[in-house]
């Protein structure tokens, strides 16, 4: 049980594990996406320059899978926590699916982008909603400026989104909870260490993450089972 006091400010970081019980594969575990596909062939600027069609096939496949997925009790518990804490909760996700939004979380900060958005690779038009799939024989999407449209995803080697806002929230939080993330990808893997200098840090997932030493306590179990009973305020 995690006690939340009336003055606590809570930072939640979610990873692929929270969506596992909704049927979406994680990246590194058994059956994980990176077990079948080489990251550098689909999720890097080099891959995009070399074979944009292949990159779009990968994200089209993920759009199809994510469009079938529904939130699980883990997502629902975090939406309830937002209703209880209001702006004392900051929800940051590495996930590009929209399951937090489907569960009625209103301000999930997507540091690795959003699967159902696309943007121009060149001009400054903002990212736009896009649920289309782009696979042969369909041609690749183009912006009105003539450049290619790419998935609105932070690829390896790119800077995550919203970092200023995220580090401000980390500086302010007194309680940090990471859920379903292996602790292997920076900068998110270092958030717990950052937060620990000023408060309590917890992890929720079926196994200890790589950065387990940064946590005050790990609650081992599936997030859909642990989260609904975890918080007391
Ligand atoms: P990983 O695949 O690295 O880790 C998923 C974690 O979820 C593992 O530690 C599992 O133990 C845990 N897990 C599995 N089932 C779970 C369940 N039911 N409940 C809770 N936890 C469960 O995924 P991430 O850490 O999210 O980046 O990966 C971080 C980033 O690496 C991703 O955002 C992605 C990837 O490359 C980009 O694509 C930019």
Per-residue pLDDT reduced to its tens digit, 113-140? 999 999 999 998 999 999 999 988 888 9
Alpha-carbon distance 174 to 91, whole Å? 14
What's the 137 CA to ligand 1 centre distance in angstroms? 33
Percent of the chain exceeding pLDDT 70 equals 100
When pLDDT is cut at 50, 70 and 90, the band that residue 178 belongs to is very high
What mean pLDDT comes out for the span 36-65?
93
pLDDT for the residue 92: 98
Catalytic residue among 110, 112, 152, 194: 112
pLDDT for the residue 16: 97
User: Ligand 1 pocket check: which of 43, 111, 205 to mutate, most ligand atoms within 8 Å of Cβ?
Assistant: 205
Question: What average pLDDT is seen over the chain?
Answer: 96
Domain positions in the chain: 1-24+70-112+160-233, 25-68+118-153
Contact residues of ligand 1, CB 6 A cut-off: 15-18, 20-21, 26-29, 32, 43, 94, 112, 154, 180-182, 184-185, 205-207, 209, 222-223
User: Ligand 1 pocket check: which of 177, 180, 191, 221 to mutate, most ligand atoms within 8 Å of Cβ?
Assistant: 180
pLDDT for the residue 39: 83
DSSP SS3 for 19: helix
Nearest CA, atom 9, ligand 1: 182
Cα angle, residue 216 at apex, residues 203 and 34 outer, rounded to 5°: 30
pTM above 0.95, yes or no: yes
User: Ligand 1 pocket check: which of 25, 27, 37, 155 to mutate, most ligand atoms within 8 Å of Cβ?
Assistant: 27
When pLDDT is cut at 50, 70 and 90, the band that residue 41 belongs to is confident
Alpha-carbon distance 138 to 120, whole Å? 18
pLDDT at position 68 over 90: yes
Domain pair 1-24+70-112+160-233 / 25-68+118-153, same fold: no
Q: Which residue do the tokens 């024989």 mark? A: 137
Six-digit token pair at 198? 């000023």
Yes or no: is domain 1-24+70-112+160-233 CATH 3.40.50.1220? yes
pLDDT for the residue 201: 98
Query: Which one, of 205, 231, 232, 210, lies nearest residue 220 by Cα?
Result: 205
What's the 209 CA to ligand 1 centre distance in angstroms? 10
Is 100 in the active site?
no
When pLDDT is cut at 50, 70 and 90, the band that residue 36 belongs to is confident
Nearest CA, atom 31, ligand 1: 185
pLDDT at position 35 over 90: no
Closest approach atom of ligand 1 to CA 204: 20
What mean pLDDT comes out for the span 141-155?
97
pLDDT for the residue 21: 98
What mean pLDDT comes out for the span 70-77?
98
What mean pLDDT comes out for the span 26-42?
86
Alpha-carbon distance 103 to 124, whole Å? 31
Alpha-carbon distance 43 to 153, whole Å? 8
CA dist 162 → 92, 94, 102, 174 (Å): 10, 12, 21, 20
As assigned by CATH, the class of the 25-68+118-153 domain is alpha beta
């Amino acid at each position: 049980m995690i006690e939340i006091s009336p003055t606590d400010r809570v930072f939640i970081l979610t990873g692929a594990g929270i969506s596992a019980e909704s049927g979406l594969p994680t990246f590194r575990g058994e059956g994980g996406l990176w077990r079948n596909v080489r990251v550098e062939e689909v999720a890097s600027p080099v891959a995009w320059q070399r074979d944009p069609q292949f990159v779009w096939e990968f994200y089209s496949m993920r759009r199809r899978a994510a469009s079938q997925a529904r939130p699980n009790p883990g997502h629902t518990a975090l939406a309830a926590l937002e209703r209880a804490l209001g702006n004392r909760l900051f929800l940051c996700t590495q996930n590009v699916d929209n399951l937090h939004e489907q569960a009625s979380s209103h301000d999930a900060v997507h540091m690795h982008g959003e699967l159902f958005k696309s943007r121009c690779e060149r001009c400054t038009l903002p990212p736009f909603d896009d649920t289309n799939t782009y696979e042969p024989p369909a041609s690749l999407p183009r912006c009105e400026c003539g450049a290619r449209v790419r998935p609105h995803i932070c690829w390896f080697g790119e800077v995550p989104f919203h970092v200023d806002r995220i580090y401000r929230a980390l500086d302010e939080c007194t309680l940090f909870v990471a859920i379903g993330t292996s602790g292997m990808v920076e900068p998110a893997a270092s958030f717990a260490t950052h937060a620990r200098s000023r408060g309590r840090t917890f992890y929720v997932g079926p196994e200890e993450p790589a950065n387990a030493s940064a946590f005050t306590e790990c609650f081992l179990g599936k997030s859909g089972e642990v989260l609904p009973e975890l918080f007391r305020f």
